[in-house]
Amino acid sequence: MNNEIFFQNLSQNRSLIQEIATELSNDFVIARFLYRETTHQAMMNKAFLNEETFKEWLITTVKKIYYKISQNEYSTKN
């Protein structure tokens, strides 16, 4: 996926990821962290992502990060 398409897809899914993060955490600070970490992971894995599965990958990733936070396997400290 080239940069332009990647960032278009990321922009198109921004509100979805923010909504999922808010629903999962019910906490603004954690939701903001979930969104930022999900977008960071997307950028780090851009070479492996494709348009057809991008949205599903984002949804799965935000949920995995939240699960790791809830299991104390992931630090929300910057």
| Domain locations in the chain as residue ranges | 3-70
Q: What is the pLDDT, as a whole number, of residue 30?
A: 94
Rounded to two decimals, what is the model's pTM? 0.90
- The angle formed by the CA atoms of residues 20, 25 and 27, to the nearest 5 degrees, is 115
Give the residues of the chain that fall short of pLDDT 50: none
Query: What is the DSSP secondary structure assignment for residue 77, as one 8-state letter?
Result: -
How many CB atoms lie under 10 A from the CB of residue 12? 11
Amino acid (1-letter code) at residue 64: K
Q: What is the pLDDT, as a whole number, of residue 42?
A: 97
Q: What is the pLDDT, as a whole number, of residue 20?
A: 97
Name 57's Cβ contacts closer than 8 Å, sequence gap at least 6. 42, 45, 49
Q: What is the pLDDT, as a whole number, of residue 72?
A: 85
